[in-house]
Structure 1
Amino acid sequence: MTRADWIAVDWGTSHLRAWAISASGAVLDKAASADGMGGLSQAEFEPALLRLINPWLNDQPTPVIACGMVGAKQGWVEAPYRTVPCKPGEAAPIMPATRDSRIKLHILPGVSQDSPADVMRGEETQTAGVIHENPHFDGILCLPGTHTKWIHISAEEIVSFRTAMTGELFALLSQHSVLRHSVGGQEFDRETFDVAVAETLSRPERLAQSLFTIRAEGLLHGQSNAAAKGRLSGLLIGAELAAARPYWLGQQVLIGGAPALVALYARALETQGVHCLTRDAETLTLAGLRLAHAKLTEAP
């Protein structure tokens, strides 16, 4: 049976992910569940965590370092935000009491921005991982997902950031709007995606009208589901890139996230002459959580 020296946790709105880590920082095992913050009451957080990590525990308290929505107002316990500009990974975590003496929980705080108002939880840990691995990075970190983050990094600090609800809009439109009849299936037309990105990058004010053409093209001209899906994704990402232009234009850009989504954002940006570095989300998250563990265990 695997026995962890410490446990890394990324607790999002819809999923819980955990890794058993050795003293050297190697991943010994990993596990995931659908016990995201959004489906749990406060009393259910500890049992949900224990169900996932119980095989890795022993009689001695095992440090658990967690980032993400576990520290939200609706989470296990609220971890206060730090305001930008700030160095991610520098703040001390909060340590809520646990019923099970085999775990010693540390929850990392999020980051906030007063104007324009914005918040993040979990992405600051990925940002800390980027900076730790490349202290001289000066540019933009793009973290696409349900709520995509555009983060300006300079002098090892988060200077500013903006959030786009592109992933959530795609889910809502493709599952709960009239467009659900057009975008079914797994196929995805990349050429249609490219055209749609260019369309809303140049005329983002036409987004609402352009979206309905997806339905009309299917009814009148037999547009395939693959083309419809590519067009929906391209229109939304193009509009996001238009709004985020001050972040990526003329900047060094690193995109981190799920490989398929990273590839789409990189493809869209490359049409604008932006060559992007890419990383997967798990690597960035673990780098940030390892940094947090190292700070907790370093000699005073």
Structure 2
Amino acid sequence: MSNVTPDWIAVDWGTSNMRAWAMSASGTVLAEARSDKGMGELARDEFELELLRTVGDWISGPMTVVACGMVGSRQGWVEAPYASVPCPALPDGLARAPVQNPDLQVHVIPGIKQTDPADVMRGEETQIAGFLARNKNWDGVICLPGTHTKWVHVSADEVVSFQTFMTGELFATISEHTVLRHSLATEGWDDDAFSNAVEEAMARPERLAARLFSLRADGLLNDLSAVSARARLSGLLIGAELAAAKPYWLGQQIAVIGASGISKRYVDALALLHAPATQVQASAITVAGLTAAYQRLKG
């Protein structure tokens, strides 16, 4: 870890890991640090110790930390209550985490909730805020692919509504814990198999469960390769998601924020449906959202 003296520290603390950035007052990244101790592995009184273990070299006096993600959940360092839609991407009222170190001030960004249909997000709101900070007066739909992909309608700098799809978790579960695990490669890609599967699932999403088993049968009877089967599974699941999310993305500006690999699949799938989307790198936009929260905190 670099020996730097930041003006403040930005933290993205999820269920499985934590990333921290030493920041200048203007929002320039000076250094980065990581921990594999996510919210899921820490008791409430262990968060401060893990933060200091990871970034303690950056702290030589009073230090403001702004954090987002599952660190603000009921099982996290401090529960940052959900704001209700419609609301700004950066809701008012950051939660203060309890600390022993007198030099630390830790502020946690609240998540966002929707009561009907019931839905919640933690962490994604910071990415949305970062995107809006860099794209003033942007209206449209933001897709945030991942284990639980979110489609978010944004207008007038507010989150209007959103919907979560367990597509990434379904892909992992089907790949590892069903009969299809014998038919799928763990890596490799087939663009044509993916594209065809997206279009099939969009056209007849109600046939998804039957088409999933056909991956097994096609491998046994028609020599469908394990790489093609993997791409086809992804295409079927994403296609079914896009069919369900069509009221969100149809006719809208679309931004896709996430890891490059999975984001590209969503951008490619949307392109097949004549819905062009802008791909945005998740890490940089998370830092932009944390910076927006810090600048508002400092007034």
Partner of 1:78: 79
**1:48-59 superposed matches below 5 A:** 48-58=50-60
Structure 2 unpaired stretches of 5+: none
CA distance in 1: counterparts of 2:155 and 2:252, whole angstroms: 11
SS of residue paired to 1:70:
helix
- CA distance 1:178–1:51, change in 2 (3 Å): farther
Seq. identity, %: 53
**1:101-116 superposed matches below 5 A:** 101-116=102-117
Partner of 1:295: 296
Partner of 2:206: 205
Which of 44, 57, 69 aligns to 1:42? It is: 44
Q: Residue by residue, what CA displacement relative to the aligned partner does 1:222-261 show, whole Å, maximum 9, x if unpaired? A: 2212101101110110011011000011111011111111
Q: Residue by residue, what CA displacement relative to the aligned partner does 1:253-272 show, whole Å, maximum 9, x if unpaired? A: 01111111111100000001
SS of residue paired to 1:106:
strand
- Worse-matched range after superposition: 113-122 or 45-54: 45-54
**1:177-256 superposed matches below 5 A:** 177-256=178-257
SS of residue paired to 2:32:
strand
Q: CA deviation at 1:280?
A: 0.6
Paired amino acid for 1:31:
A
SS of residue paired to 2:45:
helix
TM-score (norm 2): 0.96
Which of 12, 15, 21 aligns to 2:14? It is: 12
Partner of 2:135: 134
Partner of 2:285: 284
CA distance in 1: counterparts of 2:178 and 2:44, whole angstroms: 32
CA distance in 2: counterparts of 1:161 and 1:133, whole angstroms: 21
Paired amino acid for 1:50:
L
Count of aligned pairs between the two proteins: 297
CA distance in 2: counterparts of 1:165 and 1:5, whole angstroms: 38
Partner of 1:61: 62
Partner of 1:27: 29
Paired amino acid for 1:72:
S
CA distance in 2: counterparts of 1:216 and 1:210, whole angstroms: 10
Paired amino acid for 2:11:
V
- Worse-matched range after superposition: 49-58 or 152-161: 49-58
Q: CA deviation at 1:279?
A: 0.7
Q: CA deviation at 1:135?
A: 2.5
- Worse-matched range after superposition: 15-24 or 269-278: 15-24
Q: Does the 8 A contact of 2:83 with 2:91 survive in 1?
A: no
Q: Does the 8 A contact of 2:91 with 2:110 survive in 1?
A: no
Q: Does the 8 A contact of 2:9 with 2:21 survive in 1?
A: yes
Paired amino acid for 1:292:
A
Partner of 1:87: 88
